[in-house]
Amino acid sequence: MKSKNLKLVVMLMLMGSAFTVLAKNVVLEIKVHGQCGECKERIEKALDKPGITYASWDVTSKMLTVKFNDKKYSEDDIHKILNGIGYNTEKSKASNDQINKLPACCRPGGH
C-alpha cells in the first residue's frame, strides 16, 4: 500500500512540475520607428521565426503587435531583433551602422 501511495505522490509532483515549465504565448505592443510599407515588410519578416507566432506592424500608428513563446524569446529579445535590422523601438536604439543599412527612405526622417 505504501508503494502505491508513493507512486501516486511522485506522479502528481511530476505532473505539477510539468505544468510550471510549459511555455505561454505573450502578446506585446511595441512602438517601432519605421516609415513605410517597406519597413512593414522588413519588420514582419525579421520576426518570422520559430517561437514567434504573429507579428503585425501598423505604418500609421507605428505599433507592432507580436505574439511569442516566452520560453524562446523575451521582450528584450524582440527589441534586439528589431534593433539588429536598423529600427529604434520605444525601449532601445539601433546602432548607426544598422540604421545606415536601411534604404534612405526607411531611415528616421526618411519620409
pLDDT of 16 higher than 50:
yes
Confidence of residue 19 (pLDDT cuts 50, 70, 90): very low
Q: Is residue 83 part of a domain?
A: yes
Q: Residue 29 belongs to what domain range?
A: 24-106
Confidence check: pLDDT of 6 > 50 = yes
For residues 36 and 105, the answer to whether their CB atoms sit within 8 Å is yes
Domain count for the chain, please give it.
1
pLDDT digits (tens, 9 = 90+) for 86-100: 999 999 999 999 999
66 in a domain, yes or no?
yes
* Residue 3, in any domain of the structure: no
Instruction: Pull the grid cell for residue 59.
Output: 505604418
Q: 40 lies in a domain? A: yes
Domain of residue 78, CATH code:
3.30.70.100
3-class DSSP assignment, residue 81: helix
Whether residue 12 is contained in a domain is answered as: no
User: Is residue 111 included in any domain, yes or no?
Assistant: no
Task: Note the pTM of the prediction, 2 decimals.
Answer: 0.78
Q: Which residues of 15-43 are buried (b: 16+ CB within 10 A; e: fewer)?
A: eeeeeeeeeeeeeeebebbbbeeebbebb
With a cut of 70, say whether residue 22 has pLDDT above it. Answer: no
Please say if the pLDDT value at position 9 is more than 60. yes
**Would residue 7 count as lying in a domain?**
no
Looking at residue 24, what is its pLDDT?
A: 84
Work out the pLDDT band at 73, boundaries 50, 70, 90: very high
Q: What percent of the chain is predicted at pLDDT more than 70?
A: 78
- The pLDDT assigned to 111 comes to 59
